[in-house]
Amino acid sequence: MTTRRGFMAGLLAAGALPQATWGDAGAPVMLGAARDSAGAFGLAGLDSKGRQVFHIPLPARGHAAAAHPIRPEAVAFARRPGIYALVIDCATGHVAHEMQAPAGQHFYGHGVFVARGDILCTTENHIDTGEGRIGFWSRVEGYRRIGEMPSGGVGPHDVRLLACDVLVVANGGIRTHPDHGRDRLNIPDMRPNLFYLSLRDRAVVERVDLPPELHLNSIRHLAVGPDGQVAFAMQWQGDVLDPVPLLGLHRRGGKPVLAQADMAEQMAMRGYAGSIAFDGAGQSIGITSPRGGRLHVFDTKGAFKASHKRHDICALASGRAGFVASDGMGAILSVTDRLRLLTRHDGQAWDNHLVRL
């Protein structure tokens, strides 16, 4: 760990170099990763019609990408338990940096830029103890490692930034070890939580636990609404036939609201939500289940509004109106009261996540 002073210095350092913007990378509005028909992986920038404005090859299947708020720079994480992440210059298509997880730790697949893009935060696992960590990297110092904090739980997966320099972390609760690939080592004892961390004073702000009977519900992915409401998507590790809620909503200081559809629709989700997003108006939250071929839409109070059916649908982002979704058959879809095809990229199997810029 670095000193508090060093950490703050890194946090406040301003980027001094004259640099490009996303406009130099074709002005994409979102990023998505895909596998092509030859089995090769890549990262694509997409415009609002779902058309590709750039495509950059990746060496392996990634999980998510963290997009810089201004610069055309994306950090692509290897799938967990990966030890590397690639910083990609989306204007040139080159790998600008290769980030290596600290010895004894690995990445979990998500990260987020904070401090106007000067600092990258990454979810990590301290392998020996199984303790989750949030790693800090100084972009302006060439992605130098400048510190870390406990994530407040086991298996931190997604991480997002709220206003007031507060991070919200989805501690999925599942312990893995690189020697055992993606095997889940602690299912009976898992205790997922939602954890809020202040970047200013590096303190725990709030911790939200699920009711005991839902301790097998791994909190995995996050979306933040326009007024700071946090929506979290879960993946049930119990019996696939249990119709458990897969969406939670939380406001700081309040109790979490768990949301579900009617029982038949809920069972059709197969206990799995792969991606989550607010719609463009911030009035609805969507979760996808590629296993159930469904997108479920709820309002911000947790009432079920609609189910859209599409085979292998997974990645989801907010659209100008409604949502944008993608699937494993190459489709980029617009979602309002129904699904509508924006563009289809033949042979491109779109991966878990679409990252909104």
Partner 1 sequence: MVPRALSGLIERADSVAHDAAQFAQVSIAARGLLALERLLYDPALSGYDAGNYSCDLSRAISADLARMAVAVADEWRSEFAPELESAGGAGSRYLDPREAAQAIYTALDTGLEWNAAQRIGRPLGSFERPRPGRAEGWRSDRPLRNVTLSLQALRDLAHALSDAPTPTMDAAFAEALDVAARLDDPAFAGVESPSGRLKVEILQQRIEAIRAAVASEIGVPLGLSAGFNSSDGD
Query: Taking the complex as a whole, how short is the minimal distance between the CB of residue 239 and partner 1, in angstroms?
Result: 7
Query: Taking the complex as a whole, how short is the minimal distance between the CB of residue 310 and partner 1, in angstroms?
Result: 8
Query: Taking the complex as a whole, how short is the minimal distance between the CB of residue 80 and partner 1, in angstroms?
Result: 7
Nearer to partner 1, 146 or 170 (CB): 170
Nearer to partner 1, 344 or 356 (CB): 344
Residues with Cβ within 8 Å of 38's Cβ and at least 6 positions away in sequence, in order, are none
- 3 state SS of 25: helix
**Where does this chain bind partner 1 (CB under 8 A)?**
35, 63, 79-80, 109, 220, 235, 239-241, 243, 263-264, 272, 274, 290-291, 293, 309, 311-315, 327-329, 331, 341, 344, 349-352
Query: Taking the complex as a whole, how short is the minimal distance between the CB of residue 197 and partner 1, in angstroms?
Result: 23
Q: How many CB atoms lie within 10 A of CB 142?
A: 11
Query: Taking the complex as a whole, how short is the minimal distance between the CB of residue 29 and partner 1, in angstroms?
Result: 22
Nearer to partner 1, 89 or 124 (CB): 124
Cα–Cα nearest to 137, from 73, 48, 217, 49: 73
Element (H, E) at 296: strand 294-299
Query: Taking the complex as a whole, how short is the minimal distance between the CB of residue 65 and partner 1, in angstroms?
Result: 14
Nearer to partner 1, 41 or 161 (CB): 41
Nearer to partner 1, 144 or 338 (CB): 338
Start-to-end CA distance of the chain, whole Å, equals 31
Sort 254 into a burial class: Cβ within 10 Å, 0-12 / 13-18 / 19+. Answer: exposed
Nearer to partner 1, 126 or 291 (CB): 291
How many angstroms separate the Cα of 255 from the Cα of each of 166, 210, 247, 252, 282? 18, 10, 14, 8, 20
Nearer to partner 1, 249 or 316 (CB): 316
Tokens 């996540």, residue? 353
Query: Taking the complex as a whole, how short is the minimal distance between the CB of residue 121 and partner 1, in angstroms?
Result: 19
Sort 318 into a burial class: Cβ within 10 Å, 0-12 / 13-18 / 19+. Answer: buried
Cα–Cα nearest to 87, from 140, 124, 127: 140
Cα–Cα nearest to 111, from 35, 167, 27: 167
